[in-house]
């Protein structure tokens, strides 16, 4: 649980850092865009003045500086129109349509809408005669405008890759812990179980007692538990199984060891229901959910196990009348380390989900829960 919280903290830090970088990048880039836009507007004012000087010039005027200003514009698209809206000249515009005049006129209207135009009046007393210099943002300015969004996308992609890598690392680490713990548990149980089986056989030869039969059942149960642990980490082969029989074996075991005040209700269809499962591991899933349900009811209530099938899936609903699960924790209950008990590692439902999803290619989730009313776990297994 501590490592899970640490992972969430790292993920939050990464997201916060990405947001800070994005805001700083947008702020700096927008400042550069504004500065460059003002500089280009100043250049266009100088260009307009040079253009007016060119029109006013006579044969004795030195036009070298004027021509240098006009020809020095290599990046900013410019269209000069007169008072009749007729095109006089244009610079740095690539014509992509057959109708050049129509394209330039539409471009002029777009520039005016953006407020990028400067009027040149030749007579202060008569404002009816003028030229209008219309200009657009340069290619550099356009690229600089979209650059922060590209940078933002790169930062977000980096964060997503980092989070994915952390998730993969976390899952790999969990798998190692689960497999190592399971294999070691199976190994440690093997020797005392073999010894108990031998002692049971010796006792059966000397005593004919019902207690010996019950001891044998418990020894067989321990052997099955060891078998379950030994299969975690491998890929056990599912076989076609009678789901009613699988469920009945597990429910009977849990019911026999639960308080008499817990009422077990079986809702099974009459025709046989078959699905490909590993009976030992799948029984572990049902047993785990049923035991948790009994604990949630504090030893008193109704536990209903409903088996259904359709064309492609066998579904199982396990419903209790216990204390319920807050909606915010419906997904968290399957996280390693999550537990509401004073004792326990919080691995039961996590292992149950692994068995259902990875070994049986199915689904398991909390389909409904109300506080102080009960919870329903839903399981789907492909037929």
- Using pLDDT thresholds of 50, 70 and 90, give the confidence band for residue 341: low
Question: Which numeric CATH code is attached to 2-144?
Answer: 3.30.450
pLDDT for position 185: 67
Does residue 338 or residue 274 have the better pLDDT? 274
**Ordered alpha helix ranges (H), 239-335:** 243-256, 279-296
Does residue 200 or residue 277 have the better pLDDT? 277
- Using pLDDT thresholds of 50, 70 and 90, give the confidence band for residue 345: low
Give yes or no for residue 233 having a pLDDT over 60: no
Pick from 292, 285, 284: nearest CA to 340: 292
Give yes or no for residue 177 having a pLDDT over 80: no
CB 378 within 8 A of CB 369: no
Instruction: Kindly state the tokens that stand for 136.
Output: 């657009």
The CATH class, in words, for 237-382 is alpha beta
pLDDT for position 74: 85
In sign, the C-alpha dihedral spanning 341, 347, 349, 352 is negative
Give yes or no for residue 184 having a pLDDT over 50: yes
Mean pLDDT of 74-93: 87
Report pLDDT digits (tens) over 251-269. 998 998 899 999 999 999 9
CB 283 within 8 A of CB 244: no
DSSP H/E element including 238: none
Q: Report if pTM > 0.85.
A: no
Query: What residue segments make up the domains of the chain, in order of their start?
Result: 2-144, 237-382
Does residue 150 or residue 134 have the better pLDDT? 134
Does residue 7 or residue 332 have the better pLDDT? 332
């Amino acid at each position: 649980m501590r490592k899970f919280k640490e992972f969430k903290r790292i993920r939050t830090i990464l997201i916060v850092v990405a947001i800070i970088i994005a805001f700083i990048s947008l702020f700096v880039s927008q400042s550069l865009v504004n500065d460059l836009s003002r500089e280009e507007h100043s250049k266009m004012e100088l260009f307009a003045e040079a253009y007016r000087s060119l029109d006013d010039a006579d044969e004795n005027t030195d036009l070298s500086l004027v021509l240098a200003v006009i020809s020095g514009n290599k990046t900013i698209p410019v269209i000069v129109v007169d008072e009749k809206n007729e095109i006089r000249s244009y610079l740095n515009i690539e014509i992509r349509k057959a109708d050049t005049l129509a394209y330039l006129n539409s471009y002029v209207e777009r520039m005016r809408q953006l407020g990028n135009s400067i009027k040149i009046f030749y007579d202060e007393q008569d404002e009816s005669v003028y030229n209008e210099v219309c200009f657009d943002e340069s290619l550099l300015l356009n690229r600089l405008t979209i650059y922060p969004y590209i940078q933002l996308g790169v930062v977000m992609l980096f964060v997503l890759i980092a989070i994915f890598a952390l998730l993969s690392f976390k899952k790999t680490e969990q798998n190692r812990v689960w497999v190592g713990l399971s294999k070691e548990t199976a190994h440690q149980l093997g020797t005392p179980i073999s010894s108990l089986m031998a002692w049971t056989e010796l006792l059966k030869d000397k005593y004919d007692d019902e207690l010996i039969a019950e001891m044998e059942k418990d020894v067989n149960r321990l052997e099955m538990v060891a078998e379950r642990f030994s299969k975690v980490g491998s890929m056990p082969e599912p076989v076609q199984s009678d789901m009613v029989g699988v469920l009945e074996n597990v429910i009977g075991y849990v019911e026999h060891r639960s308080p008499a005040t817990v009422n077990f209700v079986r809702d099974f269809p009459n025709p046989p229901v078959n699905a490909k499962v590993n009976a030992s591991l799948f029984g572990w899933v049902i047993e785990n959910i049923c035991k948790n349900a009994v604990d949630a009811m504090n030893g008193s209530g109704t536990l209903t196990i409903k088996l259904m099938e359709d064309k492609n899936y066998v579904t199982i609903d396990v419903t209790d009348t216990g204390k319920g699960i807050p909606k915010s924790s419906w997904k968290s209950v399957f996280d390693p380390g999550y537990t509401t008990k004073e004792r326990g590692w919080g691995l039961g439902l996590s292992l149950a989900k692994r068995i259902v999803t990875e070994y049986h290619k199915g689904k398991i989730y909390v389909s409904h829960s109300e506080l102080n009313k009960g919870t329903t776990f839903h399981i789907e297994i492909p037929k």
